[in-house]
Structure 1
């Protein structure tokens, strides 16, 4: 029963994502620039082999901004206990996190939520947020819209050496319309 429920939620989530890409962002007579063909991105693969290893966890680009005329990017993340980014804010993008496995603590503004497989949270732009993996492992699908430069931010963060300073990380965030505003979350 739980598997069927999860499939149902994923089907509805997919329909929502697809529907969002159909909302015209250009005049009706303008030709879309995104590919008009379906595609499949399997399990631990990224669109165009885009895989980002950063802060100890793996992110895979599933739907690129170029696929949606910049309206949406979709990522899948694989995490281990205590993984998560520092508290940060996006100035031009909303996000949604859909938990597919494990348990996460998510902070949005001053509120904290514990999310498990099947849960989704909407993160409005301009509100600081972060998450912490509470289970041994966890997976989530997350979307940013509009796409903005999140894909480039992740690519540049993944390219930083392990000796990168916080100042270097903060500089990249600022270049991509977001800012680190606090430390990583901790359990307790």
Structure 2
């Protein structure tokens, strides 16, 4: 009987350890932040008014780090032909791009993919990536997880004056756990 009790205790301890590793806030019964409420944002709406205009395109914050206890941020972007950021790398966040309208050329590492409405691409952290809008207009929804400093990055880049230098943009990237590592994509 004593052996059975030890096995039961070891199983319970193992389950608790695994649970703490996978979801520490739940395993200990801690609340994962403020109570959450559902919300709806329309196409041109931004969470808490966070709309960023940078590098020629518009980004709308849809789900913030505050909404997800820092687990993810979600944005929608509206782009015109040839819009796209320089080649850059995130050190702390993975990303996904889900194309909702138009056509984009996406580079991840050395690989290039042409994506259209309905396509999704996963971008692992620590791999340089960029995109270029191929169609006259395009839209995508993208997520970063965990949230990290992505929202601050966009807010700070959007605040740069028109006279800002590439070095100014690089300083903001570095302060927000990423780095510009190459130029924008071009075609032709």
TM-score when normalising by structure 1: 0.86
Gaps of 5+ in 1: 1-22
Structure 2 unaligned spans of 5+ = 1-21
Residues 117-128 of structure 1: matches in 2 within 5 Å? 117-128=117-128
Match for residue 102 of structure 1? 102
Change in CA separation of 1:128 and 1:66 when aligned onto 2, cut-off 3 Å? same
- After superposition, residues 1-188 of structure 1 pair within 5 angstroms as 24=23, 26-28=25-27, 29-188=29-188
**Could you report, residue by residue, the CA deviation over 1:147-176 in whole angstroms, capped at 9, with x for unpaired residues?**
001001100000000110111100000000
Q: Root-mean-square deviation (CA), in Å?
A: 1.1
Where do 4+ consecutive residues of structure 1 move more than 2 Å? 23-28
Give the CA deviation at 1:86: 0.0
The whole-number CA distance in structure 1 between the counterparts of 2:176 and 2:26 is 27
Structure with higher Rg: it is: 2
Query: Would you say how many aligned residue pairs link Structure 1 and Structure 2?
Result: 166
Quick check: 155-164 or 34-43, which moved more? 34-43
* Secondary structure, counterpart of 1:88 in structure 2: strand
SS in 1 for 2:25: coil
What is the alpha-carbon distance in structure 1 between the residues aligned to residue 61 and residue 122 of structure 2?
19
How far did residue 34 of structure 1 move? 4.1
CA contact (8 A) 1:101 1:140 kept: yes
Deviation at 1:67, TM superposition (A): 0.3
